[in-house]
Amino acid sequence: MGRQNVPRDQWLELGHECPRCGEQISEEDVHSWRPMPEDPKLLLLYCPNCGDRVEINHI
Could you count the other beta carbons within 10 Å of the beta carbon of residue 25?
Answer: 23
Work out the burial of residue 36: count CB atoms within 10 Å of its CB; fewer than 13 is exposed, 13-18 middle, 19 or more buried.
Answer: exposed
Alpha-carbon gap, residue 22 to 47, rounded angstroms? 9
Band (pLDDT 50/70/90 cuts) for residue 5 is very high
Q: Is the confidence at residue 32, as pLDDT, over 90?
A: yes
* Sign of the Cα pseudo-torsion (30, 31, 34, 36, in order): positive
What pTM value is reported for the model?
0.77
Where do the domains of the chain lie?
2-58
Query: Is 2 or 43 the better-scoring residue by pLDDT?
Result: 43
- Which helix (H) or strand (E) is 13 found in, with range? helix 8-14
Band (pLDDT 50/70/90 cuts) for residue 33 is very high
